Structure 1
Amino acid sequence: MVSLRFATMPPQLPWLETEDPFPAPATAWGHDDPAPGLLAAGGALDVLHLCAAYAQGTFPWYGPGQPILWWAPDPRMVLPVSEFRLHRSLRKTLQTFRTQDHCEIRVDHAFKEVITACASKEREGQAGTWIVPEMVEAYTRLHAAGHAHSVETWIHGELAGGLYCVALGRAVFGESMFAHATDASKIALSALVALCRHHGVSMIDCQQNTGHLAFLGGREIARTEFLAHVERARNEPPLTWAFDPVYWNALLPTLAPKA
Structure 2
Amino acid sequence: MPLYLLDHTLTFPPVELAEPDGMLAVGGDLSTERLLKAYRLGIFPWYDEPPICWWCPDPRFVLFPAELKVSKSMRTVLQNGRFEFRVNYAFREVMTACQQARRRGQDGTWINEEIIDAYTALHEQGYAWSAEAWQQGQLVGGLYGIRLGKVFFGESMFSAVSNASKFAFIQWVRQLESEGVVLIDCQVHTEHLESLGARFISRESFTTMLDQYC
Normalised TM-score (structure 2) = 0.97
Instruction: Name the counterpart of 1:86.
Output: 70
User: One-letter code of the match for 1:115?
Assistant: M
Give per-residue Cα distances to partners, 1:70-96, cap 9 Å, x unaligned. Answer: 000000000111111101111111111
Is the CA contact (8 Å cut-off) linking 2:10 and 2:37 kept in structure 1?
no
Q: Does 1:143 align with 2:127?
A: no
Q: Does 1:70 align with 2:60?
A: no
Q: Does 1:160 align with 2:144?
A: no
Instruction: Report sequence identity in percent.
Output: 45
Q: Does 1:37 align with 2:22?
A: yes
Is the CA contact (8 Å cut-off) linking 1:47 and 1:145 kept in structure 2?
no
Is the CA contact (8 Å cut-off) linking 1:161 and 1:185 kept in structure 2?
yes
Q: CA deviation at 1:136?
A: 0.7
Instruction: Name the counterpart of 1:19.
Output: 9
User: One-letter code of the match for 2:28?
Assistant: G
Q: CA deviation at 1:12?
A: 1.8
Is the CA contact (8 Å cut-off) linking 2:43 and 2:55 kept in structure 1?
yes
User: One-letter code of the match for 1:148?
Assistant: A
Which of the residues 227, 230, 238 maps onto 2:210? 230
Give the structure with the larger strand fraction: 2
In structure 1, stretches of 5+ residues that fail to align are: 1-10, 31-35, 235-259
- 1:52-201 → structure 2 map (5 Å cutoff): 52-63=37-48, 65-97=49-81, 103-201=83-181
User: One-letter code of the match for 2:91?
Assistant: F
Q: CA deviation at 1:66?
A: 3.4
| Residue aligned with 1:139, SS | helix
Give per-residue Cα distances to partners, 1:93-129, cap 9 Å, x unaligned. Answer: 11113xx6xx421111100000010011111101100
11-20 or 84-93, which deviates more = 11-20
Number of aligned residue pairs: give it: 214
Matched residues in 2 for 1:87 and 1:195: separation? 18
Q: CA deviation at 1:18?
A: 2.2
Matched residues in 2 for 1:129 and 1:38: separation? 18
Is the CA contact (8 Å cut-off) linking 1:119 and 1:131 kept in structure 2?
yes
Give per-residue Cα distances to partners, 1:137-184, cap 9 Å, x unaligned. Answer: 110111111110001111111111110010111111011101111111
User: One-letter code of the match for 1:17?
Assistant: D
Q: CA RMSD in A?
A: 1.1
Q: Does 1:213 align with 2:193?
A: yes
In structure 2, stretches of 5+ residues that fail to align are: none
Matched residues in 1 for 2:136 and 2:206: separation? 39
User: One-letter code of the match for 2:144?
Assistant: Y
Give per-residue Cα distances to partners, 1:191-241, cap 9 Å, x unaligned. Answer: 11111110121221000011111111110000111111111111xxxxxxx
